[in-house]
Amino acid sequence: MQPDPRQIFDGIAFPRQTGVIAAVSGGGDSLALLLLLKEFLDLQAGAPALTAVTVDHALRAEAAEEARFVAALCASRGIAHRTMVWRGEKPATGISAAARSARLSLLAQAAREAGAGLVFTGHTRDDQAETVFMRAGRGTGLGTGLGGAGIAPASLYEGAIWFVRPLLSHGRADLRSYLASRDVRWIDDPSNDDTTYERVRVRRSLTAEMAARRIAEAETAAAARIALGARAARLIDGHARCVAPGLYRVDPAFFEDADAEAALYALRVLTAMAGGALHLPSEEPSARVLAGLRAGVCATLSRAVIDRRASGIYLHRERRNLPTGTGAMREVLWDRRYRLSAPEGLHIAPFGAAAHDLLPEANPTLPQDLLFAAQFAEPALWRGDVCIGPARMALPGNGIGVPAPGRTCFHPSILTSRRPSFDWLAAKQF
């Protein structure tokens, strides 16, 4: 069945965007994405500017020619195009993971420079089946975890750029049929036939029946994860508050809730948020910490200190491995927690010991040692060795506003590098 651009893109909040990016390699999936997106935007009043971006990983001699092919196709259709090249030395091992990380970084860079908040990628239903199959084989399995839920419809990158995957319900064959009906040719990447790659081997072994079963399992797991996120959000909303910059308090009643699974998940969300962790902490150590907190034992987890007091449980960033001073004229993601920039002549560094004299205004009943501990790890503006004051202005609700790719908007509290949309409900509570 031919894909319908309106059904694919109608739920996305384009009016909030001044520009959007389509990641286009020249393969069938990404070219279909580009042309479907162009069809849709051409019918919208006040549509954002579309830019196609091709990433040349500089790993194959043909890559530069493929980028030129995409550029020529875009020029023939009035679409802006840009090629981003992965420069520098390449790792001897783990090249696939390194290339993926570089690709995300380059696409995000292109988005920032184009003023775009959305990057569209051409992941398909086939990619979803392959991904779930591979993750199950590695033991990440089904359930509410990331592996079981498969590829998320959208992920927040560095707290600012949404990577959106609108073709997850469409098969590769349908997209190629769409291109063929418009006499558009595409490039077949030779690596897609290289059986040294796990994905290629999985693709060849998956039958249509197996793929359908895996996708159904992923949809069930994703629904369970979203439901768990909603339950965790209820706990966070009812029991957790930001009481000072970098300091979060959880009411003791949090531990009395009968939903133990949601309490554990909420603790993982809160810990990742307070510590600026790259990912949620895994379940097993989180469960040990939760049990210890119920017994009055303090802990550290995912760069966060979790301190049990009579008045509640307090979380803040631990002092170790804080960023060194940086003079950021443009906005940067500082400590994976805050998006900041420094005026000319100043630099950003943690308060450190200067927090003694620059504690924030807060409820006088808060423990002063915790206020200091939290402020120690907060970003400050410095002129030389003189601390000027905080480097962050809080938004209403103590969150950092990032427009969501859907019709709603929220303030995510977890500014990790890659936060999947499965966790929106839990993430939006701060």
* pLDDT for residue 414: 34
- For residue 95, the surrounding DSSP H or E stretch is helix 95-114
* pLDDT for residue 403: 41
Q: Which tens digit of pLDDT belongs to each residue from 20-75?
A: 999 999 999 999 999 999 999 999 998 999 999 999 999 988 999 999 999 999 99
313 has a pLDDT exceeding 80:
yes
Separation CA 288–CA 399 (nearest Å): 29
Helices 125-137 and 208-239, packing angle to 10 deg? 80
Are 50 and 43 in contact by the 8 Å Cβ rule? The answer is: no
Highest mean pLDDT range out of 241-250, 342-351, 360-369, 387-396?
A: 241-250
Q: Are strands 299-301 and 304-309 parallel, antiparallel or unpaired?
A: antiparallel
* pLDDT for residue 422: 56
Separation CA 163–CA 107 (nearest Å): 9
Burial status of residue 245 (CB atoms within 10 A of its CB: 0-12, 13-18, 19 or more): buried
Greatest Cα-to-Cα distance within the chain, rounded to the nearest angstrom? 71
pLDDT, average across residues 360-373: 91
182 has a pLDDT exceeding 60:
yes
300 has a pLDDT exceeding 90:
yes
Q: Which residues contact 225 (CB under 8 A, 6 or more apart)?
A: 144, 145, 148, 149, 422, 423
pLDDT, average across residues 143-166: 79
Closest CA to 14 of 116, 94, 89: 116
pLDDT, average across residues 256-270: 90
Confidence band, pLDDT 50/70/90 cuts, at residue 15: confident
Confidence band, pLDDT 50/70/90 cuts, at residue 412: very low
Separation CA 132–CA 220 (nearest Å): 12
pLDDT, average across residues 226-252: 92
Count of positions (residues) in the chain:
430
User: In the structure encoding, which two tokens stand for residue 327, read together?
Assistant: 């003079």
Q: b or e along 17-56 (b: 16 or more beta carbons within 10 Å of the residue's beta carbon)? A: bebbbbbbbbbbbbbbbbbbbbbbbeeeeebbebbbbbbb
Q: Which tens digit of pLDDT belongs to each residue from 201-236?
A: 888 888 888 888 888 888 888 888 888 988 999 999
Q: How far is CA 413 from the centre of its chain?
A: 12
Separation CA 376–CA 298 (nearest Å): 19
pLDDT, average across residues 307-316: 93
Separation CA 338–CA 281 (nearest Å): 20
pLDDT, average across residues 114-142: 84
Q: Which tens digit of pLDDT belongs to each residue from 66-110?
A: 999 999 999 999 999 999 999 989 898 888 889 999 999 999 999
* pLDDT for residue 324: 85
Separation CA 378–CA 237 (nearest Å): 23
Burial status of residue 422 (CB atoms within 10 A of its CB: 0-12, 13-18, 19 or more): buried
Average pLDDT, the chain: 85
Separation CA 316–CA 246 (nearest Å): 6
Closest CA to 271 of 230, 247, 302: 302
Partners of residue 56 on adjacent β-strands: 85
Closest CA to 79 of 118, 114, 134, 38: 38
Contacts 24+ apart (CB under 8 A), 70-77: 70/24, 70/25, 70/26, 70/31, 73/31, 73/184, 74/24, 74/34, 77/35, 77/38
Share of the chain above pLDDT 70, in %: 88
259 has a pLDDT exceeding 60:
yes
